[in-house]
Amino acid sequence: MRQSLRVMARSRPRALMVGFAATLAALLAGCGGASGDKAGGETNVAAGAAHYNDAVGDGGAAPDVRAVDVTSTPEGRIIFRVPLGPVSGSLYGVDVWLDTDADPNTGNTTFQDAGGAEYRLGSFIGVAPPGDPNCGLFPRGNGCLARWTESGWRSGAAATARAVRTKSGVTISINRSDLGNTSEFNFYAVGWTDGADLSDRAPGTGTFRYSLALGGPGSEASSRSPDDADKAGGKSAERRVVLTLASHDYNAIDASEFASAVERLSGGSIGIDVRYGVRQYDIDYERGTIGDVRNSVYEVALVGARAWDAAGVKSFNALVAPFLIDTYALERRVLESSLPERMLDGVEPLGLVAIAVVPGELRRPLGLTTPLLRPADYSGARVGIRPSGVAKATFDALGADAEGFQSIRQGLVGFDGAEAGVSTILNNRYDSGARALTANIVLWPRPATIFMNREAFDRLTADQQDALRQAGREVIEPVLATIEDAERASLEAICNGSRLPFVSASPPDRAALRRAVQPVYDELEHDPLTRELIAEIEDLRGDEGAADKPLRCPKTRPLRNASALAGAWHVDVTRQDLRAAGAQLEQLERAEGPWTVEFADGRLVARNHDSGNVYRGVYTVDADVVRETIRSCNPTNICTPGAVEEYTWSVYRDKLKLARIPGREFNMAVIAKPLTPVR
């Protein structure tokens, strides 16, 4: 099955393979397409053609969609030609999602960047299309068509559709009569490879537009949010401004905390519409997001401080200098000092305004094929990094080959090591099969920057601008507290699950590592501001560092029958069950239906098989209490990342009973009736 639930949870569209059950299809990224004049031999003179570029080399292991050429004929035939970069593997395809009424508010809006698609065209190269009733097969070529309805995806009539593999990629053609007689549409294309949890989307965010009447791009781009009247500079900007904030991470507590603080401090005159999962499929997503804000795709965004050097901004480099900020206490002191104020001006030459720097998790060396303790361990090793000039220079100095990787479970396949935080390791299951995590070395933190498009910022009043900056300062403490809590919970889950070994570097080895990266400091300190900031951070260090407080598994009480909780559990909850349990009216629709809840190695996945809603998180067990921390969900508006639920639990005669704890958050579906094992 090409489509994994992990991909669905992140809302990254991919092709359909199996299933297309109506309830899950709202989440599946599926049926997409390619067909062309070669398939079926159309030779009519085109009414109009348009060329749409996409970034080259952003596909990772997926086929790199380099462009989309769209042609239409006077008879209404629409042809998509999709050239691809080199493809690894023989089973792949391209999907085309079509918003045929050119209105992103209608059609499929079940996940971020769904685009309001009414139709999905899917091509399948080297593999037969799925035999599924919700995807209508093309009469010629390996492809199928799905149509969005109020109850989900259904089979589309694909009488005129054709798909073919070409020398440069794939091509698809279909008559507009099979697409609701569309005359103008928005669209995007997705390249996928069978068996890989990866895809490449063109464009990276938003959609392209094509008009049959104009024979090319439509009258307006649709990459912006549909509700532009409420955005900065829109019709109602003088009353209330709603700014879109782009966040790559679904569990970005910094984004949600910032949004809440802005709403409160502005007296409701600014709302923040957080778009989670932005550029989820890109390796270099942060640099792409910076470009999106510069091009007004979003007004505000949140990216790691590490990303700015690739955009020509050096002012944040001191925050990620190797082995410098190595405790949360030091990170707090730095971010609460006046130092960040001196860094913010660095983005202004790009037409941007930096609002704040907020905390991020500490990143450590994770050894995948060997422990990473001393310089010799890095020599010749392939190390995965988040794209950053400082990170690459650091590992180059250690003799390693540093490359970007995707934030998915398979993203580190083929690597010898990586830089990663404890929560990231748990959430992506990088601990599975890893050799060791170096417990007393912190490479650098991952602080994030909140920044804004200059024109959008200038349209705000002085009071609104002040509210944004004040919100950035106020969230430092709660965000850092959440990060530390999440690390403790993740550490406990790793210790109770995979038992990833923790190793410590000796004092001579730590000193050797610091000497090895001296050339990195020499280069960084060529910049006067960076040199000053590094010196001032050194003054803030104090006596305690990562070596003084290495990671250790927490001491917990023996877990009573905790193994009895592990496994997959099922419950089918009716409205009558929910009402009997005290559910309110607004809870019925979300909780009703068949559920599967999986507990494994400290990780939790809960799915409603009717709605397709998926929740992911971590859990810990303390005697008869299970504590669940939600990390992400799909759709993103059904949960708050970081939310904690607690229940008492017991297993008796093959039935799991979860009971709410007064004053604690809970999911009504799992307390309404006992759960039974999935056989």
- Rounded to whole angstroms, the Cα distance separating 223 from 69 reads 18
- Rounded to whole angstroms, the Cα distance separating 630 from 636 reads 12
Asked if residue 476 has pLDDT above 70, the reply is yes
Identify residue 578 by its one-letter amino acid code. Answer: L
Count of CB atoms situated within 10 Å of the CB of 523:
15
Domain with CATH 3.40.190.170 in the chain: 228-360+447-484, 362-445+496-548
| The three-state (H, E, C) secondary structure of 473-521, written as one string | HHCHHHHHHHHHHHHHHHHHHHHHCCCCCEECCCHHHHHHHHHHCHHHH
**Cβ(500)–Cβ(313) under 8 Å?**
no
pLDDT at 5: 24
**490-547: per-residue pLDDT in tens?**
887 787 665 688 999 999 999 999 999 999 999 999 999 999 999 999 999 877 776 6
Angle at 453 between CA 450 and CA 459, to 5 degrees: 115
Closest to 320 (Cα-Cα) out of 393, 252, 382: 393
Query: With bands split at pLDDT 50, 70 and 90, how would you rate the model's confidence at 193?
Result: confident
- Rounded to whole angstroms, the Cα distance separating 475 from 95 reads 40
Of 86-100, 191-205, 639-653, the least confident: 191-205
Of 77-91, 272-286, 558-572, the least confident: 558-572
Of 17-26, 257-266, 337-346, 521-530, the least confident: 17-26
Q: Which residue has the higher pLDDT, 103 or 410?
A: 103
pLDDT at 66: 85
pLDDT at 54: 80
pLDDT at 222: 39
Q: Which residue has the higher pLDDT, 125 or 466?
A: 466
Asked if residue 105 has pLDDT above 80, the reply is yes
Report which DSSP code applies to 247: E
Closest to 485 (Cα-Cα) out of 493, 496, 474: 493
Mean per-residue pLDDT, 598-608: 89
pLDDT at 587: 62
Identify residue 34 by its one-letter amino acid code. Answer: A
Closest to 117 (Cα-Cα) out of 190, 63, 172: 190
- Rounded to whole angstroms, the Cα distance separating 292 from 313 reads 16
Instruction: Look up residue 570 and give its two tokens.
Output: 């099922």
**Cβ(12)–Cβ(29) under 8 Å?**
yes
pLDDT at 362: 95
Beta strand segments in 523-602, E: 567-573, 593-600
**552-570: per-residue pLDDT in tens?**
887 654 444 567 888 999 9
**609-663: per-residue pLDDT in tens?**
888 888 888 888 877 888 888 888 887 767 766 677 888 888 888 889 898 776 5
- Rounded to whole angstroms, the Cα distance separating 131 from 3 reads 15
- Rounded to whole angstroms, the Cα distance separating 332 from 358 reads 9
Q: What is the pTM of this model?
A: 0.58
Asked if residue 285 has pLDDT above 60, the reply is yes
Identify residue 525 by its one-letter amino acid code. Answer: E
Mean per-residue pLDDT, 474-501: 82
Sheet with 448-453, side-by-side order of all strands:
270-276, 241-247, 300-304, 448-453, 352-358
Domain with CATH 2.40.128 in the chain: 562-677
**Cβ(100)–Cβ(89) under 8 Å?**
no
Average per-residue pLDDT for the chain: 80
CATH of domain 228-360+447-484: 3.40.190.170
Class of domain 362-445+496-548: alpha beta
- Rounded to whole angstroms, the Cα distance separating 325 from 541 reads 8
Read out DSSP for 111-164? STT-TTBSEEEEE-BSSPPP--TTSEEPSBSSEEEEEEETTEEEE---TT-EEE
Query: With bands split at pLDDT 50, 70 and 90, how would you rate the model's confidence at 248?
Result: confident
Q: Which residue has the higher pLDDT, 585 or 429?
A: 429
**Cβ(30)–Cβ(122) under 8 Å?**
yes
End-to-end alpha carbon distance in the chain: 21
Mean per-residue pLDDT, 378-402: 92
Q: 562-677: what fold?
A: Lipocalin (2.40.128)
**Cβ(232)–Cβ(224) under 8 Å?**
no
Percent of the chain with pLDDT over 90: 38
**Cβ(63)–Cβ(200) under 8 Å?**
yes
Percent of the chain with pLDDT over 70: 80
